[in-house]
Amino acid sequence: MLGNFTYCNPTKVYFGKDALSGLDEELPKYGKNVLLVYGGGSIKRNGIYDAVLEKLKKHGKVVTEDAKVMPNPTSEKLKEGCARARAAQADLILAVGGGSVIDYAKGVSVSAYCKEDPWTKYYLQMQDPSDGIIPVGAVLTMVGTGSEMNGGSVITNHEQKLKIGHVFGEEVFPKFAILNPEYTYTLPKYQMVAGFYDIMCHIHEQYFSGTDDNTSDYVMEGLMRSLIHSSKIAIDDPKNYEARSNIMWTATWALNTFVAMGKSTDWEVHMIGQAVGAYTDATHGMTLSAVTLAYFRHILPYGMQKFVRYAVNVWGVGAEGKTDEQVALEGLAALEAWMRSLSLVMDLKTLGVTQEMLPGIVEATFIMQGGYKVLTKEDVMEILQESMESKE
Amino acid sequence: MLGNFTYCNPTKVYFGKDALSGLDEELPKYGKNVLLVYGGGSIKRNGIYDAVLEKLKKHGKVVTEDAKVMPNPTSEKLKEGCARARAAQADLILAVGGGSVIDYAKGVSVSAYCKEDPWTKYYLQMQDPSDGIIPVGAVLTMVGTGSEMNGGSVITNHEQKLKIGHVFGEEVFPKFAILNPEYTYTLPKYQMVAGFYDIMCHIHEQYFSGTDDNTSDYVMEGLMRSLIHSSKIAIDDPKNYEARSNIMWTATWALNTFVAMGKSTDWEVHMIGQAVGAYTDATHGMTLSAVTLAYFRHILPYGMQKFVRYAVNVWGVGAEGKTDEQVALEGLAALEAWMRSLSLVMDLKTLGVTQEMLPGIVEATFIMQGGYKVLTKEDVMEILQESMESKE
């Protein structure tokens, strides 16, 4: 643990089958105007919408709805949400959904009264919020992004073909988060496993960086092992409460800032994946799974010791009598086998990426400094090319 | 993850060599009257006192000192501190020290304006705070108790021969904590290793409970492995920043409520250790080390699977071709070898316990319900007898 850091995570989490009753404690803390943010309407089919609305009515809230938040929320939609929040004079933004909905709610939170253009200020220039922040609360219905307990907000600008995440400070974190694992049961399998991989990738991005040997590395190994264990149960039995609840909690801790403290981090897979997302609108987790193995093979020689440690401590690879490279590759093979067992998308073509898109995706990929190798644009192109088709 | 829970930990941690500069952010948030709480005066010898006082002066604080907090702070001392806090009209209690000093500060925080007898209300009857809470900040100089990021407060009543901990809610957690690993360098080895074992014991108490297989169990295995790794470095090289910083951060997370979420927990070793402490005033961590192995041998048959998992995942014991009991015992042997390598106290006689004290210690031991076996008073006596002398 070498770096200086400041850690603060004030989000209050209500977890479990009765989590929604947390609204009875939280709603009275805010004024009467609530902007209710949600996505495509699945919450109307599975009863969550009704349950939330009942709580809002019970506490006398005046509700303005802001629905149809898309899987990769856009800067256009953000403007619309800001207008709604201002018109409603929202005292609280209640986001009911997955990472996209909560990311979007944070975007509206800092942008509604922002005097400049929010896309430019927050996502292109990464400035701090000003002009007021509307408090956000979250009811989580899809697991993976960790948005329920952090300051992350990813917004896509289709005109500029950019998908960018701003990590805001603790003043933008959800004030509270309702985590009921049962709310994730009705999610289609494709979205469920994409979320599982998003969790794994979050941990990878923070684990595969630095040569230190610190508390976070050990904790992340634990989180990965927990995820692997529970995902194997959930894939066959999606309504297994124990598995789904552990995955939900693991997802939160994979990206609520704790495991990044004092460490360098990478995030290059997210940078490539987000560029792919800007071109294809593909499901976030699948953009990550499609490029991970090619990326890891590129950086493996530069981070050999960590890949060996990963193979042994996370995947239980035996190291005796083997070279470091053999051990490391066995770790990646175990990762790949697990990914295939989840039916993740393992190539870019399946996501709709064409050869014509590749130069633009390369251009849209931010180059990070924290990984074992700082990529060149040529590296990114090679990784994309290698990811176009999956070789079994 | 089966239980419902609410998680909230609002303490802001400033970590690293520059951590004290966090006071520049925090002190302006409070009024001018500060009660400065510390222990026996070692902070005057190692420069921490001067550094803190300089910050307090810089921010125009009126400082009232409350020194000589003893290693096991007493209910008598608590009364004295409350009088001081009231006389000073303290706006902030700044605790500079280890767990005892911070535990005591929390006690003063909730007791200064308490209309009833604080010992009775909080420690005997476990009531919630009323009548006002004075905010607490912490500058940590000794690692182990986790008091810097939780609501725990252990107070000893010598007259009643009771040492009792109350775990207060988040409103009593330190508002901020300054964690500079270098502040722990000058601690005598005896205190240092007692702190190391206190950390391990905190994790044990939460790990050895329940038959579930949840995220927290995996995270705790990571924390234990990190502690074992770093303790082996620190024992030979106490000024190794990386080791001491990782241990400091591990200690905080071992007892800041995270790993207990959704789990049952035990805490019986602490109950026995605290009863020993009430009779001997021995160093907390050593009261735990002296009784752990006898306790584990008593409960092992009832929690066999978890002891097997512990042996394999924490201590790297190979399980192939062995019975569960063999694996579990090899795990305990590895624990014992590590404890001896730290020169922990492994018996009660060394701590000054006499045969005459044992019936009283048994009486003062709270029986917990969360362990693999709910002890009888006879069990406690057997554990104490077996712990009187260490068999190598």
Q: Name every chain A residue with its beta carbon within 8 A of the beta carbon of B257.
A: none
Return the structure tokens found at A75: 């800067």
Residues A101 and A77: their CA atoms lie apart, in Å, by 11
User: Hey, are the CB atoms on A214 and B12 less than 8 Å from each other?
Assistant: no
Q: Using CB atoms, pick whichever of B12, B18, B262 lies closest to residue A4.
A: B18
Burial class of residue B275 (count of CB atoms within 10 Å of its CB; 0-12, 13-18, 19+): buried
Q: Tokens 């701590």 identify what position?
A: B351
Distance of CA A258 to the CA centre of its chain: 15
> Distance (Å) from the C-alpha of residue A211 to the closest C-alpha of chain B?
12
Query: Mean pLDDT throughout B177-202?
Result: 96
Q: Name every chain A residue with its beta carbon within 8 A of the beta carbon of B240.
A: none
What residue of B is the nearest CA neighbor of A18? B4
Query: Mean pLDDT throughout B272-296?
Result: 96
**What is the residue-wise DSSP string for B240-261?**
-HHHHHHHHHHHHHHTSSGGGT
* Mean of all residue pLDDT scores within chain B: 96
| SS3 call for B313 | helix
Chain A interface, mutation test: which of B11, B215, B261, most A Cβ atoms within 10 Å?
A: B215
> Distance (Å) from the C-alpha of residue A16 to the closest C-alpha of chain B?
4
Query: Mean pLDDT throughout B326-354?
Result: 98
Chain A interface, mutation test: which of B2, B5, B7, B223, most A Cβ atoms within 10 Å?
A: B7
Q: What is the dihedral of CA B158, B163, B165, B166, to 10 degrees?
A: -40
Return the structure tokens found at B243: 């080791």
Distance of CA A289 to the CA centre of its chain: 13
Return the structure tokens found at B375: 């002890």
Find out whether B246 and A215 touch, Cβ atoms under 8 Å. Answer: yes
CA-based nearest residue to A148, from A215, A96, A195, A192: A96
Return the structure tokens found at B301: 């048959």
User: Hey, are the CB atoms on B4 and A22 less than 8 Å from each other?
Assistant: no
Q: Using CB atoms, pick whichever of A4, A10, A218 lies closest to residue B222.
A: A218
Q: Is the dihedral of CA A13, A19, A20, A21 positive or negative?
A: negative
Chain B interface, mutation test: which of A215, A226, A229, most B Cβ atoms within 10 Å?
A: A215
Q: Is the pLDDT of residue B289 over 80?
A: yes
| SS3 call for B392 | coil
CA-based nearest residue to A203, from A153, A255, A165: A255
> Distance (Å) from the C-alpha of residue B139 to the closest C-alpha of chain A?
14
Tell me the per-residue pLDDT of B154-167, one tens digit each, with 9 for 90 and over.
999 999 989 899 99
User: Hey, are the CB atoms on B15 and A22 less than 8 Å from each other?
Assistant: no
Please, which pLDDT band fits residue B392 given cuts at 50, 70 and 90?
A: low
User: Hey, are the CB atoms on A4 and B12 less than 8 Å from each other?
Assistant: no
User: Hey, are the CB atoms on A261 and B15 less than 8 Å from each other?
Assistant: yes
Name the DSSP class of B122.
I
What pLDDT is attached to residue A390?
A: 83
What pLDDT is attached to residue A1?
A: 56
What pLDDT is attached to residue A165?
A: 92
Find out whether A1 and A215 touch, Cβ atoms under 8 Å. Answer: yes
**What is the residue-wise DSSP string for B318-332?**
--TT--HHHHHHHHH
Q: Tokens 């256009």 identify what position?
A: A76
Find out whether A175 and A135 touch, Cβ atoms under 8 Å. Answer: yes
Residues B319 and B330: their CA atoms lie apart, in Å, by 10
What residue of A is the nearest CA neighbor of B171? A10
User: Hey, are the CB atoms on A253 and B219 less than 8 Å from each other?
Assistant: yes
Q: How far is CA A332 from CA A194, A264, A375, in A?
A: 19, 22, 20
Q: What is the pLDDT along chain A (392 residues), one digit of tens a residue?
A: 567 999 999 999 999 999 999 999 999 999 999 999 999 889 999 999 999 999 999 999 999 999 999 988 999 999 999 999 999 999 999 999 999 999 999 999 999 999 999 999 999 999 999 899 999 999 999 999 999 999 999 999 999 989 899 999 999 999 999 999 999 998 999 999 999 999 999 999 999 999 878 999 999 999 999 999 999 999 999 999 999 999 999 999 999 999 999 899 999 999 999 999 999 989 999 999 999 999 999 999 999 999 999 999 999 999 999 999 999 999 999 999 999 999 999 999 999 999 999 999 999 999 999 999 999 999 999 999 999 998 76
What residue of B is the nearest CA neighbor of A4? B16
Please, which pLDDT band fits residue B2 given cuts at 50, 70 and 90?
A: low
Q: Name every chain A residue with its beta carbon within 8 A of the beta carbon of B2.
A: 241-242, 245
User: Hey, are the CB atoms on A4 and B19 less than 8 Å from each other?
Assistant: yes
Name the DSSP class of B52.
H
Full set of structural domains in chain B with CATH = 12-183 (3.40.50.1970), 189-388 (1.20.1090.10)
CA-based nearest residue to A109, from A30, A28, A174, A27: A174
Please, which pLDDT band fits residue B41 given cuts at 50, 70 and 90?
A: confident
- Angle between helical axes of A189-207 and A215-234 (0-180°, round to 10): 160
Q: Using CB atoms, pick whichever of B1, B19, B181 lies closest to residue A246.
A: B1
Residues A203 and A197: their CA atoms lie apart, in Å, by 10
What does the H/E/C string look like for chain A?
Answer: CCCCEEEEEEEEEEECCCHHHHHHHHHHHCCCEEEEEECCCHHHHCCHHHHHHHHHHHCCCEEEEECCCCCCCEHHHHHHHHHHHHHHCCCEEEEEECHHHHHHHHHHHHHCCCCCCHHHHHHHCCCCCCCCCCCEEEEECCCCCCHHHCCEEEEEECCCCEEEEEECCHHHCCCEEEECHHHHCCCCHHHHHHHHHHHHHHHHHHHCCCCCCCHHHHHHHHHHHHHHHHHHHHCCCCCCHHHHHHHHHHHHHHCCCHHHCCCCCCCHHHHHHHHHHHHHCCCHHHHHHHHHHHHHHHHHHHCHHHHHHHHHHHHCCCCCCCCHHHHHHHHHHHHHHHHHHCCCCCCCHHHCCCHHHHHHHHHHCCCCCCCCCCCCHHHHHHHHHHHHCCCC
- Angle between helical axes of A189-207 and A284-299 (0-180°, round to 10): 40
First to last CA, chain B: 39
User: Hey, are the CB atoms on A15 and B8 less than 8 Å from each other?
Assistant: no
User: Hey, are the CB atoms on B226 and A212 less than 8 Å from each other?
Assistant: no
Residues A377 and A354: their CA atoms lie apart, in Å, by 18
Burial class of residue A290 (count of CB atoms within 10 Å of its CB; 0-12, 13-18, 19+): buried
User: Hey, are the CB atoms on A2 and B241 less than 8 Å from each other?
Assistant: yes
Q: What is the ipTM of this complex?
A: 0.95
Tell me the per-residue pLDDT of B221-254, one tens digit each, with 9 for 90 and over.
999 999 999 999 999 999 999 999 999 999 999 9
Q: Is the dihedral of CA A48, A52, A53, A54 positive or negative?
A: positive
Return the structure tokens found at B89: 């009209």
What pLDDT is attached to residue A3?
A: 77
What pLDDT is attached to residue B391?
A: 74
Residues forming beta bridges with residue A164, ordered by sequence position: A155
What pLDDT is attached to residue B1?
A: 56
Find out whether A136 and A106 touch, Cβ atoms under 8 Å. Answer: yes
What pLDDT is attached to residue B212?
A: 77
Return the H-helix or E-strand segment holding B270: helix B268-280
Q: Name every chain A residue with its beta carbon within 8 A of the beta carbon of B262.
A: 15-16, 245, 249
Find out whether B156 and B163 touch, Cβ atoms under 8 Å. Answer: yes
Q: Name every chain B residue with its beta carbon within 8 A of the beta carbon of A6.
A: 12-15, 22
CA-based nearest residue to B82, from B93, B71, B72: B93
CA-based nearest residue to A351, from A310, A298, A388: A388
